[in-house]
Amino acid sequence: MTTVTMEKRGNIALLIVDNPPVNALSHSVREGLVTQMKVCADDDSVEAVVVSCAGRTFIAGADIKEFATGPKAPHLPDVVQKIENMDKPVVAAIHGTALGGGLEIALGCHYRVALSSAKIGLPEVKLGILPGAGGTQRFPRIAGVENALDAILSGRHIKAKTAASWGTIDEVVEADLVDAAIEFAKGAIGKGPRRTGEMEIDGSKYGQAFFDAFRKSVARKTRGYFAPEKCIQCIEAAVNLPLKEGLAFERAAIGECFVHPQARALQHMFFAERQVARIPGISKETPRREINKVGIIGAGTMGGGIAMNFANAGIPVTILEVEQAVLDRGLGVVRKNYERTASKGKISTEEVEARMSRFTGTMSYDDLSDCDLIIEAVFETMEIKKKVFTALDAVAKPGAILASNTSYLDVDAIAQVTSRPADVLGLHFFSPANVMRLLEIVRAEATAPDVLATCVDLAKKIGKVGVVSGVCHGFIGNRMLAQYGREAGLNIIEGNMPHEVDKALFDFGMPMGPMTMSDMAGLDIGYMNRKGMDRADYDTRAADWIDRIVEQDRKGLKTGAGIYDYDEGSRVPKPSLTVMEIIEEESAKLGIERIKKTEEEIVERSVLALINEGAKILEEGIAYRASDIDVVYANGYGFPPYRGGPMHYADQIGLANVYAKICANAEKYGERWWKPAPLLKELAEAGSSFADYDRKNAS
Ligand code: NAD
């Protein structure tokens, strides 16, 4: 198929790349560009060239499908070089997004004209690699070293006007892009080519001290990641080496990235996030319900944050509370959140008011009668939830979707109190709900396909990654978290101190250790939960020491003390002598001889528990795919994306190894928590993987 065509416009050759949907740089596009450049070079009547794209965007990146097989020649760096080597001026006409390889092509062109709505970017780092077709060498030359570091390390999209202020775009136009690019090309005929690769960077400003300071400034964000450091090294090479040597350096660096397990993990996450919206039984043809107005019940920690998502997307929200004072407090928190965002310059003060104007407060259920979706976020007790849903059933209009934000409770039981269980499902947001990307969409027994489809679409609309879960205690995420938390608690009662367990898991890549996280969330929640449970239903050894801490009014960060001590006004955890004494006493009470585990053993125990539970969740059909579980755990619980989520991580270790280790733990710690998931056993014995399991189920 011809994907690159040429039209003559007088003495200008207009190349048109047409490879729907996003003009990805497939083999045919690369070959087409090389062929057409040669035609233009050989045709004396052509004095300048414009590279443009059909459809909705400029070349939006590499063909990621080729990552697995390795691309065929002509390779992208050679294509870019051939364009740059042209003796006739070449102008890129950019609309939509010029991303990754697409931008590298544009950087090979001698000039760039863009629509003001266009964006450019080098997002490779997000896939564990780097811009490997000269991007790390040309971008700093044309945009400046600081801007290149910003763009390449963040992978973010950059608006055309910003890019123009960096010198990367020569002209920004509001309309008629191709005509403007042709005019620009005519003007460039006299000037000839201006090759980015031949530009020089004044290295005197960018010595070792500059790069050391930059590394320090991004250290927190890039902790544990392999590719960002390689990107920095490449940009250093752009400063210090001539183009050819810099390109060779870049080539070697991308080679290291490609073979690194992080690249596979991050690419897995990329595809996994795109898979979540594929739901068995739901297609484009499944009808959707219109969501033009949303109701929220409860303006507490979650209700306010959930409401913000809709207000941000332009959807009006009515929030119901039990008392005016509580409602005012909730809306006050929302306003403060917006004002904080405005003070950082991320939104204007007018936007704060525009968003606030979408909120209506009420204490009457009648005011929810015109809502298309109502989300309940009241206290976590079945009795209250049932009362709320009974009230909702009485007022909600026919066809309204009724959702619960419950963390653990049985959504089927909630649905059953209504006369319309088909309209009920769980929408489990994570805290803070206006920030966290994950949304678990809990499909209850009777949930109608169009309700589910509507919510899957809605998740995307409000900027969330929505993963469908079946009904079980804690759904996908909290059910797994329980295993992880228990094993961390057991490691402590058996010999390690909280800060040691936290350090091990932090070093593994978690944003914080489980004990720090518990202090942040508040220890009283789990405490109260356990008081309502039968002691036979949880591992008292992992929890009793925490209960003793809570009974000393150490409820976590909010009371200034929990598993850790905190200095006045500080959020930095400090090991607590009181707590360490309690732990030692509790171990002694249980007759445990305290033996310290290594960091590796601590991590392995918690992560294996996650994997085993994940396998059960998969087998029970609670999650549709292993990759969905990875998306949940990475986006909701901070499992390092560069490890690809627990299930991908298990595949990387090898399921036979994982299974053997879980069997060994069953011997050592007993079968109660360590009985291997039958699916894990089956896949391990078949030499298979979770990825294979997903592939088979998809076909
Ligand atoms: P919260 O205590 O901060 O807020 C609950 C609010 O609901 C309170 O403002 C209360 O006045 C109001 N409320 C109680 N009964 C009501 C009723 N009958 N009608 C109207 N309003 C009523 O609790 P939260 O942390 O926001 O949790 C709410 C729900 O979200 C729970 O089901 C919880 O399990 C779930 N959840 C919480 C988190 C979290 O991290 N806090 C995360 C995910 C899900």
Q: What is the 3-state secondary structure (H, E, C) of 450-503?
A: HHHHHHHHHHHHCCCEEEEECCCCCHHHHHHHHHHHHHHHHHHHHCCCHHHHHH
Pocket test for ligand 1, best of 407, 410, 517, 635 (most atoms within 8 A of CB): 407
User: Does the pLDDT at position 216 exceed 70?
Assistant: yes
- Structure token pair of residue 274: 């795109």
The strand order across the sheet containing 158-159 reads 97-99, 119-121, 158-159
Closest CA to 111 of 43, 5, 175, 191: 191
Name residue 115's beta-bridge partners.
173
- Give me the count of residues in the chain: 699
- Burial pattern 441-469, b for ≥16 Cβ within 10 A else e, equals bbbbebbbbbbbbbbbbbbeebebbbbbb
User: Does the pLDDT at position 665 exceed 70?
Assistant: yes
Residue 385 in domain? yes
Q: What is the pLDDT of residues 414-440, one digit of tens each?
A: 999 999 999 999 999 999 999 999 999
- Structure token pair of residue 632: 């949940």
Which ligand 1 atom minimizes the distance to the CA of 320? 20
pLDDT for position 188 = 97
Residue 268 in domain? no
- State in Å: Cα 380 to ligand 1 middle: 7
Q: What's the whole-model pTM score?
A: 0.94
Name residue 468's beta-bridge partners.
441
- Structure token pair of residue 555: 């409820």
In this structure, the answer to whether residues 531 and 637 fall within a common structural domain is no
Contact in structure between 65 and 172 (CB atoms under 8 Å): no
Nearest CA to ligand 1 atom 1: 300
- State in Å: Cα 521 to ligand 1 middle: 14
Average pLDDT over residues 90-119: 98
Which ligand 1 atom minimizes the distance to the CA of 380? 32
| Neighbouring residues of 128: CB distance < 8 A, sequence distance ≥ 6 | 225, 226, 227, 257, 260, 262, 263, 264, 265, 266, 267, 642
Q: Quote the percentage of the chain above a pLDDT of 70.
A: 100
Nearest CA to ligand 1 atom 12: 298
- State in Å: Cα 375 to ligand 1 middle: 11
Residue 285 in domain? no
Pocket test for ligand 1, best of 296, 301, 392, 525 (most atoms within 8 A of CB): 301
Nearest CA to ligand 1 atom 25: 301
- State in Å: Cα 304 to ligand 1 middle: 10
**How confident is residue 699, by pLDDT bands cut at 50, 70 and 90?**
confident
Average pLDDT over residues 55-61: 95
Which ligand 1 atom minimizes the distance to the CA of 302? 26
SS3 category, 507: helix
The domain of 688 spans: 601-698
Contact in structure between 475 and 469 (CB atoms under 8 Å): yes
pLDDT for position 286 = 97
Which ligand 1 atom minimizes the distance to the CA of 378? 7
pLDDT for position 71 = 79
Contact in structure between 122 and 250 (CB atoms under 8 Å): no
Asked which of 447, 469, 491 is the last residue of a domain, the reply is 469
Nearest CA to ligand 1 atom 9: 300
- State in Å: Cα 321 to ligand 1 middle: 10
Q: How many structural domains are present in the chain?
A: 4
In this structure, the answer to whether residues 609 and 538 fall within a common structural domain is no
In this structure, the answer to whether residues 53 and 133 fall within a common structural domain is yes
**For residue 534, what is the domain's CATH number?**
1.10.1040.50
Pocket test for ligand 1, best of 366, 378, 475, 637 (most atoms within 8 A of CB): 378
In this structure, the answer to whether residues 196 and 333 fall within a common structural domain is no
In this structure, the answer to whether residues 577 and 631 fall within a common structural domain is no
pLDDT for position 260 = 97
Average pLDDT over residues 450-467: 98
In which residue are the tokens 């392999």 written?
226
- State in Å: Cα 301 to ligand 1 middle: 7
SS3 category, 693: helix
Pocket test for ligand 1, best of 302, 479, 524 (most atoms within 8 A of CB): 302
Q: Report the run of H or E that residue 112 belongs to, with start and end.
A: strand 111-115
pLDDT for position 67 = 67
Average pLDDT over residues 157-174: 98
pLDDT for position 66 = 77
Asked which of 258, 275, 305 is the last residue of a domain, the reply is 258
In this structure, the answer to whether residues 422 and 565 fall within a common structural domain is no
Average pLDDT over residues 451-475: 97
Nearest CA to ligand 1 atom 36: 407
Residue 521 in domain? yes
- State in Å: Cα 32 to ligand 1 middle: 58
Which ligand 1 atom minimizes the distance to the CA of 385? 18
pLDDT for position 525 = 83
Nearest CA to ligand 1 atom 16: 378
**For residue 139, what is the domain's CATH number?**
3.90.226.10
User: Does the pLDDT at position 118 exceed 80?
Assistant: yes
pLDDT for position 108 = 98
- For β-strands 4-9 and 12-17, DSSP reports them as antiparallel
Nearest CA to ligand 1 atom 44: 407
In this structure, the answer to whether residues 426 and 484 fall within a common structural domain is no
- State in Å: Cα 553 to ligand 1 middle: 22
Average pLDDT over residues 339-356: 97
In this structure, the answer to whether residues 220 and 363 fall within a common structural domain is no
In this structure, the answer to whether residues 491 and 580 fall within a common structural domain is yes
**How confident is residue 2, by pLDDT bands cut at 50, 70 and 90?**
confident
In this structure, the answer to whether residues 609 and 574 fall within a common structural domain is no
Contact in structure between 212 and 218 (CB atoms under 8 Å): no
Q: Residue 404: count other Cβ atoms within 10 Å of its Cβ.
A: 27
Pocket of ligand 1 (CB under 6 A): 297-303, 320-322, 326, 377-380, 384, 388, 405-407, 428-431
In which residue are the tokens 């060994």 written?
664
What does the angle CA 462 – CA 224 – CA 479 come to, to the nearest 5 degrees? 55
The mean pLDDT of the chain is: 96
User: Does the pLDDT at position 1 exceed 90?
Assistant: no
SS3 category, 441: strand
Which ligand 1 atom minimizes the distance to the CA of 407? 34
User: Does the pLDDT at position 355 exceed 90?
Assistant: yes
- State in Å: Cα 486 to ligand 1 middle: 25
In this structure, the answer to whether residues 622 and 640 fall within a common structural domain is yes
Residue 271 in domain? no
Residue 288 in domain? no
User: Does the pLDDT at position 566 exceed 90?
Assistant: yes
**For residue 317, what is the domain's CATH number?**
3.40.50.720
Residue 37 in domain? yes
Asked which of 574, 597, 620 is the last residue of a domain, the reply is 597
User: Does the pLDDT at position 506 exceed 70?
Assistant: yes
Average pLDDT over residues 129-139: 98
Nearest CA to ligand 1 atom 4: 300
With the CA atoms of 567, 571, 575 and 576 taken in that order, what torsion angle do they form, in degrees rounded to the nearest 10?
50
In this structure, the answer to whether residues 573 and 434 fall within a common structural domain is no
Closest CA to 125 of 97, 145, 158, 154: 154
**Residues annotated as catalytic (active site), given as ranges:** 104, 124
Residue 52 in domain? yes
Average pLDDT over residues 92-108: 98
Pocket test for ligand 1, best of 334, 363, 374, 379 (most atoms within 8 A of CB): 379
User: Does the pLDDT at position 47 exceed 70?
Assistant: yes
User: What is the C-alpha separation between 98 and 117, in angstroms, rounded?
Assistant: 12
- Structure token pair of residue 390: 């009974």
